[in-house]
A and B are shown apart, each in its own frame.
Chain A
Amino acid sequence: MSKITYIEYSGKSHTIDVANGLTVMEGAVQNNIPGIDADCGGSMACATCHVYVKEEWLNRLPKKEDGEEDMLDMAFEPKKNSRLSCQLMVSEQLDGLVVNLPEKQV
Chain B
Amino acid sequence: MIKTDALIIGAGPTGLFTAHQLKLIGLNCEVVDNLDKIGGQCIELYPDKPIYDIPAVPECTGEELTNNLINQLKPFDIKFHLSERVDEVKKNNNSWEVKTNKGTEFSTPNIIIAGGVGSFEPRKFGPKDCEKYENKSIFYSIKDKSIFKDKTVSIFGGGDSALDWAIELSKDSKVNLVHRRDEFRGAQSTEGAMKNLVKNGKINLFTKYQLRNVNGKDNLESIDIEHDDKEIKNIKTDYVLGFFGLIMQLGPIANWGLNIDKKTISVDTEKFETSQKGIYAVGDICTYPGKLKLILSGFHEGALAARACFKLARPNEKYRFEFTTTSSNLLKRLGKKE
Contact = CB atoms under 8 A, between A and B. Distances in A.
A27 to B, nearest CB: 16
Given A48-B247, A106-B123, A73 B45 contact: no
Contacts of A92: none
Nearest to A106: B247
Interface size class of B (residues with CB under 8 A): 20 to 34
A61 B183 CA distance: 21
- Grouping DSSP codes into helix (H, G, I), strand (E, B) and loop, the B interface class, with mixed when no group exceeds half, is loop
Given A70-B185, A73-B181, A77-B210, A46 B293 contact: no
B263 A39 contact: yes
Given A39-B263, A41-B293, A77 B45 contact: no
- Grouping DSSP codes into helix (H, G, I), strand (E, B) and loop, the A interface class, with mixed when no group exceeds half, is loop
A6 B126 CA distance: 22
A106 B249 contact: yes
Contacts of A69: 181, 183
Contacts of B123: 74, 76, 106
Interface string B152-168: 00000111000000000
Contact of A73 (B41, B158, B228, B247): B158
Contacts, number: 51
A103 B247 CA distance: 16
B198 interface: no
B285 to A, nearest CB: 11
B311 interface: no
A74 B181 contact: no
A76 B126 contact: yes
A77 B126 CA distance: 7
Contacts of B284: 41
Contacts of B293: 41
B194 to A, nearest CB: 15
Given A39-B263, A40-B41, A41-B293, 19 more contacts: A37-B263, A39-B117, A39-B247, A39-B248, A40-B117, A45-B41, A45-B45, A46-B117, A69-B181, A70-B185, A73-B157, A73-B159, A73-B181, A73-B245, A74-B244, A74-B245, A76-B123, A78-B180, A106-B249
